[in-house]
Amino acid sequence: MIDKRCSSAREAVAPVHDGATVMIGGFGSAGSPVELIHALIDQGARGLTVISNNAGCGRVGLAALIEAGRVERVVCSFPRSADSEAFAARYRAGRIALDLVPQGTLAERIRAGGAGIPAFYTPVSVGTPLGEGKERRSVGGRECVLEHALTADFALVKAERADRYGNLVYRKTARNFGPIMCMASRVAIVQARRIVEPGEIDPEVVVTPGVFVQRVVEVRDPADESALVREGRRYP
């Protein structure tokens, strides 16, 4: 029997190893898998490369993982945050590396990673500092740069509902990077507000088919990261 359910966030993140590349879903606080990230802080893996749109808010979630010194490199589009010094302080001190990627290029590199496309050409970033040093080619009369796919050992993703096969639906704009990060990672670890019986998610509305998901854990009442930030909470 196929059963991808884990009994706790702790069990769900147990396989993450030192030096792993981890994709973390969320756009700002929406879709941030706070409970999985906190379980990863407790678990202790270090030397991580994190691929995420942002670099954390406040002193919880991804910001707390960075503050705990577990992250060596961040691949993201917008690491600046008005409410968090976690990334900025370590970046200025030369203790964390940054690969800055235009947001759509980041999304497409992840999608390509999940779809078996090793690289692609795009006009985005041509003539800008972020296009420097990249292989160039004119395609159809338009100057392009070569961008390589991104894959990861693990993804941490927040969904609304899941079943034991790993089929997922998301909630509103919290969907953001979840579907493509599940596709691009070897082990996609998902926290869902509800795990339901197979068939309860209408096959017509499944957003992420279970083949892209390896581990699911129910987190009934997930923290709203933006509220934790407003309240000035920190983890641990």
Partner 1 sequence: MSAHTGWSREQMAALAALDIPDGTCVNLGIGIPELVAQHVPPGRELVFHTENGLLGVGPPPAPGEEDADLINAGKKPVTALPGAAYFHHADSFAMIRGGHIGVCVLGAMQVSATGDLANWSTGEPDAIPAVGGAMDLVAGVRRVLVLMEHTTRRGEPKLVERCTLPLTGVGVVSRVYTNLAVVDVAARGLVVRRLAPGVDIEAVRACTGAPLIDGRDGREEGP
Q: Shortest distance, CB of residue 78 to partner 1, whole angstroms?
A: 4
Q: Which is nearer to partner 1, 165 or 177 (CB)?
A: 177
Q: Which is nearer to partner 1, 4 or 90 (CB)?
A: 90
CB 59 within 8 A of CB 67: yes
Question: Which residues are paired to 156 by β-bridges?
Answer: 24, 189
Q: Which is nearer to partner 1, 45 or 155 (CB)?
A: 155
Q: Shortest distance, CB of residue 31 to partner 1, whole angstroms?
A: 7
Q: Which is nearer to partner 1, 187 or 229 (CB)?
A: 229
Residue 217 CB coordination number (10 Å): 24
Three-state secondary structure call for residue 75: strand
Q: Shortest distance, CB of residue 215 to partner 1, whole angstroms?
A: 20
Separation between Cα atoms, residue 114 and residue 117, nearest integer Å:
8
Distances (CA, A) of 48 to 5, 51, 71, 101, 164: 25, 10, 5, 18, 28
Judging by beta carbons within 10 Å of its beta carbon (0-12, 13-18, 19+), is residue 147 exposed, middle or buried? buried
Q: Which is nearer to partner 1, 42 or 143 (CB)?
A: 143
Q: Shortest distance, CB of residue 76 to partner 1, whole angstroms?
A: 9
Q: Shortest distance, CB of residue 3 to partner 1, whole angstroms?
A: 26
Place of tokens 């707390």: 64
Residues near partner 1, by CB under 8 A: 27-31, 53, 77-80, 87-88, 91-92, 98, 100-105, 107-108, 110-111, 122-130, 170-180, 207, 224-227
